[in-house]
């Protein structure tokens, strides 16, 4: 049990370690620019639109217009501005996060090589385009099924003793940790089954790493859009933290059976995603792609 708590605490520390974040952010002006762009877009544009909607526009229209007209105007505002603003911020964030993840990984590799001049990374063998598409499609389906699983848990979990809130926090923490480390793993050409294995064998560490992300997104407000804006604004910092994190080695825990037991976090999602991906890959890319993905 003590080992589990240590790994959980290490995950939390790696996610919010200010000295590491400041060192990596200061190492590149481009990293600073990307983080600033994310903050401006998500806090000023997206979150600002939500706050204007809730605190200014909605009360003003409620005082001037009948309820029926108010509902129509609110729906128009959401359709014309709020949801498009979310889509634009999402697309921009995806591009910025990808570049930020690569820059942070490069900075981490440079720091590691400077501290150990004898270490050399083996050359990365590029994947074929069909294998890359198959893996990205598989990852998309895997996480989609996983979030359906989270939704179902929220439906059936009891409210008593905060069971629903605790389960929701745990599941989302693993998902957020997966997203944060996904950029690092992509730069390291780590195949998706190895990424899933990393989460499931070091589940206490990744639970700790994902906890600050979930708390920062949902502790301030229960509004889903507000949470999305806050999470998107702070997410670049967690991407940098993931690139710099020192993930504990699973092999070092062989003396503790509890710590080394693999937790089937993605087992349900993986089983259903595999079937869906097999059918889609055969339809889009041919049967050979599915076989090559499994061999990897």
Across 75-79, 178-182, 236-240, 258-262, least confident range: 258-262
Do 280 and 137 contact (CB within 8 A), yes or no? yes
| Domain map (residue ranges) of the chain | 16-121+157-265
Helix (H/G/I), strand (E/B), else coil: 159: coil
Q: How far apart are the C-alpha atoms of 101 and 93, rounded to whole Å?
A: 12
Of 117, 136, 127, the residue nearest 192 (C-alpha): 136
Across 186-195, 220-229, 249-258, least confident range: 249-258
Cα distances (Å, whole numbers) of residue 89 to 95, 191, 231 = 10, 28, 12
* Mean pLDDT (whole number) for 183-206: 90
Q: Residue 213 contacts by C-beta under 8 Å, 6 or more apart in sequence?
A: 15, 173, 176, 177, 180, 231, 234, 235, 238
Tell me the whole-structure pTM to 2 decimals.
0.79
Q: Give the tens place of pLDDT for each residue, 13-65.
A: 999 999 989 999 898 899 999 999 988 888 888 888 888 888 888 888 778 77
Of 229, 243, 185, 237, the residue nearest 212 (C-alpha): 237
pLDDT bucket at 191, cuts 50 / 70 / 90? confident
* Mean pLDDT (whole number) for 78-86: 78
Cα distances (Å, whole numbers) of residue 88 to 6, 232, 233, 295 = 40, 12, 14, 37
Do 64 and 258 contact (CB within 8 A), yes or no? no
Cα distances (Å, whole numbers) of residue 182 to 29, 83, 131, 152 = 23, 26, 17, 25
């Amino acid at each position: 049990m003590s080992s589990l708590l240590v790994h959980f605490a290490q995950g939390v520390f790696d996610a919010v370690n200010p000295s590491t974040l400041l060192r990596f952010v200061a190492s590149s002006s481009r990293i600073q620019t990307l983080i600033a762009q994310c903050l401006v877009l998500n806090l000023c544009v997206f979150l600002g639109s939500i706050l204007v909607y809730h605190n200014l526009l909605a009360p003003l229209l409620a005082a001037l217009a009948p309820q029926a007209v108010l509902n129509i105007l609110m729906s128009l505002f959401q359709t014309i501005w709020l949801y498009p603003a979310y889509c634009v911020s999402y697309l921009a964030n995806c591009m910025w996060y990808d570049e930020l993840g690569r820059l942070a990984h490069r900075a981490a590799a440079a720091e590691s090589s400077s501290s150990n001049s004898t270490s050399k990374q083996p050359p990365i063998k590029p994947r074929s385009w069909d294998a890359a598409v198959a893996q990205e499609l598989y990852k998309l389906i895997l996480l989609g099924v996983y979030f359906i699983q989270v939704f179902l848990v929220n439906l059936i979990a009891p409210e008593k003793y905060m069971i629903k809130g605790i389960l929701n926090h745990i599941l989302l923490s693993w998902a957020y940790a997966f997203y944060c480390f996904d950029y690092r793993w992509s730069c390291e050409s780590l195949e998706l089954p190895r990424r899933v294995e990393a989460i499931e064998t070091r589940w206490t560490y990744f639970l700790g790493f994902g906890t600050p992300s979930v708390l920062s997104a949902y502790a301030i407000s229960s509004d889903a859009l507000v949470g999305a804006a806050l999470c998107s604004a702070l997410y670049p910092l967690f991407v940098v933290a993931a690139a710099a994190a020192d993930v504990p080695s699973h092999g070092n825990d062989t003396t503790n059976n509890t710590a080394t037991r693999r937790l089937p976090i993605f087992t349900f999602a993986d089983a259903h995603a595999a079937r869906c991906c097999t059918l889609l890959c055969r339809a889009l890319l041919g049967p050979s792609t599915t076989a090559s993905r499994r061999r990897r």
